[in-house]
Structure 1
């Protein structure tokens, strides 16, 4: 059935101040890396409507985001998170793209999908923007899968170098979702200790020491992630695909290589083939060295395409 690639030009309209790591160039480099890749079902990410966002965020928070967009220049929401004219549309495309990808794989239109949108989402808590994120894209996609498609076992794997505190917050009370986050510790945002297990013991945090390389990471996943996913037998696998664990990334200190993201993607797709009809939706999170980001995304999507054929 193949692999869908979701993106939209609106995601280039979310402009951050000069020198900010989460910048338009990230998506431009990804687009260039994927431009000549054949065999992708290229689709525009739709706007995420209020009803989709309100599954995870309260009306008061949605109103705050909608009303904070400036007519020109920038608005600083917190020390890391900014909005420009166009940020609301971009953030809604990120939500809408993730949810449209879930609908497409559940309908059997495609086997899997990659959502190349920005801003990222895994730091956005229920009522708090932070860490470059406005809405919890992947968590909202998980909630959509459960509420609309009736799924009772959704696995979410976040391999971004920073803890997925927002996804954890949005899924904390959700017994139908199993959430894994591997992340460097100590590192911002300071959450993600193993003792943070969720209301139903369904959250698995896997802190990695600075300078952890691919071999150590693979041992952690082999021991703590893959066996539990295998036992869980998910009906859908979602990935928060952050590529800032790459050794070249300026915001962290892990030492992964492109080959490590390939290995992770292959193993996650193999589990999806065993349990959930190969249904995988992966959405872009971090990655701030644009060359390393583009190479890692291209490798990730290549595996999705091979496994989705």
Structure 2
């Protein structure tokens, strides 16, 4: 069974007119999944993350800053040049992180085998003490830390195929050997991290794609480098930072993937989870800024998760 976690307030987080991380992104994903082939999805309203859950990966001052930054109606709070909060953004961020915690509880508790969290704001750029790159809380990091602390897992893997490097996730876990972080991303590109020499305590695996790379380079990288490392780690739970901005139509990068590439990789990640983690996967939406490509890619990803 695949669960879909989301919340209406995630559609109300509004960084402002012209911002690429717009509510229409999530609307496109949800509409893409509102078809007969996805009728079997178990749709769950995301709860709020608790302070205890957030504080496992974020400093208290960071959590307080996000939760206290509630501008008046019609106004915005700018945290950095790219990261902007509206009056409902703090609540959306709590629900986004809470979705992943609830999903981890569900798959580890046996009530679901896999979950997809259709939430925003995204998370993988947020560090322990800094919001950046459209991200407020690091949703996938909160989920991984919860799996370790609340469920006692010894090996949790995070596969990140967003076109931008998940610098926040890497920074949070680079000294935590119980978490393996495997990422494919364009380089050079924002945020400027993710070199192959960045290895943490042996638990960081960065695979870089040059501008203009396409399906062949992407699949070769995962087949030759990233998937073997994930298999060798034998994760008890697989988390996915599912960014779809490496699509050829995306305006923010220069990688040339199609939705069939996301289906291909998701199928291999499902096989990996079946082999090592009793099939248990929690995936969460990260980037993807061309609405049609985002919808098609999300549909391909979720379809593969359901099989």
Match of 2:65 in 1: 64
Most deviating of 221-230 and 5-14: 221-230
C-alpha contact (below 8 Å) 1:39/1:305 kept by paired residues: no
Match of 1:88 in 2: 90
Deviation for aligned residue 1:227: 1.3
Deviation for aligned residue 1:13: 1.4
Q: Whole-Å Cα distance in 1 between the matches of residues 189 and 130 of structure 2? A: 19
Q: Whole-Å Cα distance in 1 between the matches of residues 67 and 230 of structure 2? A: 37
Match of 1:79 in 2: 81
Match of 1:303 in 2: 304
C-alpha contact (below 8 Å) 1:46/1:93 kept by paired residues: yes
Match of 1:135 in 2: 137
Q: Whole-Å Cα distance in 1 between the matches of residues 34 and 48 of structure 2? A: 23
- Secondary structure of 2:124's counterpart equals coil
- Residues 177-220 of structure 1: CA deviation (Å, up to 9, x unaligned): 0001110001011000111111x210011111001101111111
Deviation for aligned residue 1:170: 1.1
Deviation for aligned residue 1:42: 0.4
Match of 2:263 in 1: 262
| Deviant stretches of 4+, over 3 Å | none
- Secondary structure of 1:197's counterpart equals coil
Q: Whole-Å Cα distance in 2 between the matches of residues 225 and 57 of structure 1? A: 27
Match of 1:121 in 2: 123
Q: Whole-Å Cα distance in 2 between the matches of residues 184 and 104 of structure 1? A: 33
Match of 1:278 in 2: 279
Match of 1:29 in 2: 28
Alignment of 1:43-62 (within 5 A): 43-62=44-63
C-alpha contact (below 8 Å) 1:160/1:242 kept by paired residues: yes
Q: State TM-score, norm by structure 1.
A: 0.97
Q: Whole-Å Cα distance in 2 between the matches of residues 254 and 146 of structure 1? A: 34
Q: Whole-Å Cα distance in 1 between the matches of residues 231 and 167 of structure 2? A: 24
Q: Whole-Å Cα distance in 2 between the matches of residues 227 and 68 of structure 1? A: 43
Most deviating of 78-87 and 167-176: 167-176
Q: Whole-Å Cα distance in 2 between the matches of residues 196 and 275 of structure 1? A: 26
RMSD over aligned Cα atoms? 0.7
Deviation for aligned residue 1:66: 1.2
C-alpha contact (below 8 Å) 2:182/2:230 kept by paired residues: no
**Structure 2 unaligned spans of 5+:** none
Q: Whole-Å Cα distance in 2 between the matches of residues 294 and 173 of structure 1? A: 36
Match of 2:9 in 1: 10
- Secondary structure of 2:90's counterpart equals helix
